[in-house]
């Protein structure tokens, strides 16, 4: 039996986080007939879920080209050859027949969903994200490895300035947006964030909650954007306390948000 770690109801559709590898989540959104899968790095857990729920796979949404996000596409296409694959135009995605640059709208009328595509480079050169509002007016975001709960992706191909701009696009979404990130990094991210911002009460409370959730094998995701805005240092590079901490780490004054972000990113990389 597949271990589905998280489920959220969005009035007529279901949002599921299916575990893969050591700490990945593969997200699925579906009604009782059709399903969309996001970043299937592994096919087997997705196939188990689809077959157990007797769902047809309509589409595969890809945020970026890393193997732990695209590795299951081929096997899924063998079973569901009509499934459409959407992915970033600037990256090579297997079986991709809908290349996206950002700002496109993708409609899935069978599910009653429309996705807006966000261009969010930084982790990779062509990284994109998918934003939608469910039938009950609940917004949600498939952000891949751009934003994690109390963290963000490493800069493998992009620059600090690009990531700051990308995260700003996410910050502009409604505060109640569900953040459906692709990795369970929350506890280690919080440990680092408390070194940066030790007096943040929201962060302290979230650590207690996250510890309880993980002790019960429950994911910390989806997070909510409003929490990230209050507790994630990478989204708070204009806050004096965060700037001071970053400057202390860097050992020099930091003039711009991108410099603060770069110092924070280096700090987290070596924490």
Q: What angle do CA 10, 182, 52 make, to 5 degrees?
A: 55
Do residues 145 and 156 lie in contact, with contact meaning Cβ atoms separated by under 8 Å? Answer: no
Catalytic residue flag (residue 30): no
Catalytic residue flag (residue 127): no
Among residues 102, 88, 157, 109, which one has the least CA distance to residue 131?
102
The two structure tokens encoding residue 105: 């709208």
Q: Write down the catalytic residue from 39, 68, 119, 197.
A: 68
Catalytic residue flag (residue 216): no
Catalytic residue flag (residue 123): yes
Q: Using DSSP, how many helices (H) and how many strands (E) does the chain show? A: 9, 15
Alpha-carbon span 150 to 99, nearest angstrom = 30
Q: Write down the catalytic residue from 39, 119, 145, 197.
A: 145
For tokens 């901490």, name the residue: 245
Q: What angle do CA 228, 229, 235 make, to 5 degrees?
A: 90
Q: Write down the catalytic residue from 64, 65, 119, 127.
A: 64
Catalytic residue flag (residue 66): yes
Catalytic residue flag (residue 145): yes
The two structure tokens encoding residue 196: 């940066």
Q: Write down the catalytic residue from 6, 30, 65, 69.
A: 69
Q: Write down the catalytic residue from 6, 30, 65, 123.
A: 123
Q: Give residues with Cβ within 8 angstroms of 264, minimum separation 6.
A: 196, 233, 234, 237, 242, 246, 249
Alpha-carbon span 10 to 96, nearest angstrom = 28
Among residues 29, 241, 260, 265, which one has the least CA distance to residue 146?
265
Return the bridge partners of 114, or none. Answer: 107
Pairing of strands 98-100, 105-108: unpaired
Q: Write down the catalytic residue from 30, 65, 66, 127.
A: 66
Among residues 213, 194, 208, 140, which one has the least CA distance to residue 170?
140
Active site residues: 64, 66, 68-69, 123, 145, 183
């Amino acid at each position: 039996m597949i271990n589905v770690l998280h489920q959220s109801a969005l009035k007529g559709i279901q949002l599921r986080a299916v575990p893969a590898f050591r700490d990945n989540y593969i997200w699925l959104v579906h009604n009782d007939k059709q399903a969309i899968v996001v970043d299937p790095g592994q096919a087997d857990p997705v196939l188990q879920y689809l077959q157990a729920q007797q769902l047809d796979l309509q589409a595969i949404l890809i945020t970026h080209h890393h193997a732990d996000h695209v590795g299951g596409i081929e096997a899924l296409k063998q079973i569901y050859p009509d499934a459409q694959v959407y992915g970033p135009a600037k990256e090579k995605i297997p079986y991709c027949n809908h290349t996206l640059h950002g700002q496109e709208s993708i409609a899935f009328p069978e599910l009653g969903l429309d996705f807006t595509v966000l261009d969010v480079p930084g982790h990779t050169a062509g990284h994109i994200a998918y934003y939608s509002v469910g039938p009950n007016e609940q917004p949600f975001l498939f952000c891949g490895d751009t934003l994690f709960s109390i963290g963000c992706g490493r800069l493998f191909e992009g620059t600090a300035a690009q990531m700051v701009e990308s995260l700003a696009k996410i910050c502009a979404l409604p505060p109640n947006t569900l953040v459906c990130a692709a990795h369970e990094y929350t506890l280690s991210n919080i440990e680092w964030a408390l070194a940066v911002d030790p007096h943040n009460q929201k962060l302290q409370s979230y650590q207690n909650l996250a510890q309880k959730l993980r002790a019960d094998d429950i994911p910390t995701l989806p997070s909510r954007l409003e929490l990230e805005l209050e507790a994630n240092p990478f989204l708070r590079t204009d806050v004096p306390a965060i700037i001071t901490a970053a400057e202390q780490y860097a050992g020099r004054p930091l003039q711009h948000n991108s410099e603060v972000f770069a110092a924070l990113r280096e700090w987290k990389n070596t924490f």
